[in-house]
Structure 1
């Protein structure tokens, strides 16, 4: 994974001997771009130039030791979970794993209770000692059936009623998205289940773990290939006319690629407030949510729970959702989906460009889903390459 500078890149063939034209220019060194770069280089022997406007690889999964030596996630917590053995098998080429099951607490009514809502949550919140069967009746009695579920509010109120919706979901969602749940697609709150047993894991996937040596090290291993060149601190516009390439795989915002000619796709961003404390631990779990609308941040993360690091200090991050800043979350509303469809149609008419990843396809994906999307793209490219090779062979007969 040679790191080259822009002046070197501009000179074409001198980037690497015999590499005057890159087969692929890949924009974005997060999961989508890095996985497809590795596959194209290793699987098909393609020459790849991977660029990122940030000064580091790994995208939003980037982790690093802070000034105190505590391993932190610069862009908020990233917890790997999946049901797909093939995703685990692929990523295991580049990392060993540390078992980790994510548990989240929410501060509600002056108490820390499990979220997603489960039997323990209900019993602690209401001072009860219900069984699972009694909890099912408890929730059913409070549910307010919604004939047609369209919004995130509909999902929650239909399942557990308005009181619990107000306590756990409305304030948090309004802070996270800058919109009331009644204005957001049902997919937002559909991601969070409600349980009547004591399972307090945030995820129930078959595989739940963390890269043993961190995400950045995983990416370093993934991109350590002689056919991958890397340019950091580099914007796509700075090299698109300076470097020779055959095809672009673009993992940045699709509307930005087209200079926002159809209008801007809305994204939600985050501001992070990092703090190191001279104490061994700050909170009982990695993440505590704050649904109260009067609390300006949505959650606090303490990374040592995620990494298993032993250190006399601990580091935490408070997250403040905002409209301005790096694009993190596509905003799930019908009008935004319609605008994306128009951009997608424009993309389909643009030769030699493929859009990939959360920003490139304007969809909220988990990490494993992004990896899966990149591997699926590689399979398509591999199949097309094989068909082309067969056609060339037939022409030679």
Structure 2
């Protein structure tokens, strides 16, 4: 009945399915474990009419015109420039750290002196890595680098990854930049927007094709068998000769043959607040205070008339296989080696294609996933 099987109805699986259906005019079945399409980008309106991002905030931004144009086939956009504050020493200040932040956390005389040295050393509107600033001989620039490292990133990263601050490699947070600019936007991409009706509507339109069938609430293991020895894939008891595009966890697909890959997960706590707005920006980070890492207020992203507002607190936690959502791959040397074993094993399957965040064991922005999915279709399926 089907020429293609796709496991996972997030951006990777949905984009590939849409291309197969519309360009190749062939039949595709999408198997999805959850009761909805859209993966972690899924959103919905609550009883107050507020659009909620169920799995945490998703803000679309890209420099790829072709990706923005492609997605524009399925949605209209609201221009949206994301701004983030961080609660530091009792103040909410803009991040990424920029010249505005500088004057909010340091005395004016010191801030002016540091700004002058930054502008003498680096060009305006440039980004400078903390690691680079730490290497400067100037004491003021070193002071700035150490302040940003310790106050903004160190403890946030420790909470996010479940590590003690002393166990975090300086290179991890050292790659975070300071903006030599007064631009408070979190992203600087050419295209920054959110879909007018939300992300779920994009997926509904993308998959609304007679060649596409959906099987929700279904773990792929319920309908598929993977013969690791003979490198064959069976669907409903019969060998499947078409292409299989897998966008889920690569270690799960191969039955954890070499062991489970490590991830970090989140506990997400939604709260309805009886006021127009709860905070000054869509997202406020709490690097040094509280057990949660950040609070998102969705009305800043999708404005709506309501006397109530909804906030989301994120509590990072260890990932338990089969119980939690795998949000973030753990980028350790041993996990990369383990992933490479699974990737090598996948090469023995002639009709298997791996694509997406979990299959590639990488953290992708939305535009990157769409770009990869389109490349997979053009290079591997067309």
**TM-score interval, normalised by the smaller of the two chains:** 0.7 to 0.9
SS in 2 for 1:194: strand
Residue of 311, 315, 318 corresponding to 2:313: 318
Distance in structure 1 (CA, Å) of the matches to 2:107 and 2:75: 45
1:111 aligns with 2:82: no
Q: Residue 392 of structure 1 corresponds to which residue in structure 2?
A: none
Alignment of 1:87-236 (within 5 A): 87-128=67-108, 130=112, 132-136=115-119, 143-145=133-135, 160-180=144-164, 189=173, 192-236=176-220
- 1:262 paired to 2:258: yes
What runs of 5+ residues in structure 1 fail to find an aligned partner? 1-19, 147-156, 384-397
Matched residues in 1 for 2:63 and 2:4: separation? 31
**CA-to-partner distance for each residue in 1:252-309, whole Å, 9 max, x for gaps?**
00001011111111111111000111211111110000001x4100000001111122
Listed one character per residue, the Cα deviations across residues 172-195 of structure 1 (whole Å, up to 9, x for unaligned) are 001111125775678854664211
Cα deviations by residue, 1:158-208 (Å, 9 ceiling, x for unpaired): 895333211001110011111257756788546642112211110000000
Q: Find out whether 1:306 has 2:301 as its counterpart.
A: yes
1:77 to 46, 52, 57: 57
TM-score, normalised by the number of residues in structure 1: 0.83
- Equivalent residue for 1:152? none
The structure with the greater share of residues assigned to strand is: 2
Q: What secondary structure, in the 3-state scheme, does the structure 1 residue paired with 2:21 have? A: helix
Q: Distance in 2 between matches of 1:355 and 1:368?
A: 18
Gaps of at least 5 residues in structure 2 are 122-127, 225-234
1:391 maps to which residue? Answer: none
C-alpha separation in 2, matches of 1:102 and 1:39: 30
C-alpha separation in 2, matches of 1:297 and 1:368: 27
Does the aligned pair in 1 maintain the 2:158–2:168 contact within 8 Å? no
In 2: Cα distance, 1:213 partner to 1:243 partner: 40
Please give the secondary structure, in 2, of the residue aligned with 1:279: coil
Instruction: Choose from 285, 291, 297 the match for 1:296.
Output: 291
Could you list the per-position Cα deviations for residues 120-139 of structure 1 after superposition, in whole angstroms to 9, with x for gaps in the alignment? 11110013252743445799
How far, CA to CA, are the matches of 1:137 and 1:112 in structure 2?
28
1:377 partnered with 2:371: no
- Partner residue of 1:150? none
2:275 corresponds to 1:273: no
Q: What SS does the corresponding residue of 2:258 show, helix, strand or coil?
A: coil
Report the more deviating stretch, 250-259 or 62-71: 62-71
Contact 1:173 1:180 in 2 (8 A): no
Using the TM superposition, give the Cα deviation of residue 81 of structure 1 relative to its aligned residue in structure 2, in angstroms.
0.2
Whether contact under 8 Å (1:143, 1:159) holds in the other structure is: no
Flag the 1:41–1:345 CA change in 2: closer, same or farther, 3 A: same
The CA deviation string for residues 47-78 of structure 1, in whole angstroms up to 9 with x for no partner, is: 11011111101100110012333111010000
The alpha-carbon deviation at position 338 of structure 1 amounts to 1.3
Residue 335 of structure 1: aligned partner: 334
Pairs aligned (count):
352
Q: Deviations over 1:204-230 (max 9, x none)?
A: 000000001100011101110110000
**C-alpha distance in structure 2 between counterparts of 1:379 and 1:185, whole Å:** 39
Q: Which residue of 1 aligns with 2:46?
A: 66
Aligned partners of 1:376, 1:273: CA distance in 2, in Å? 36
Equivalent position to 1:34, from 14, 20, 24 = 14
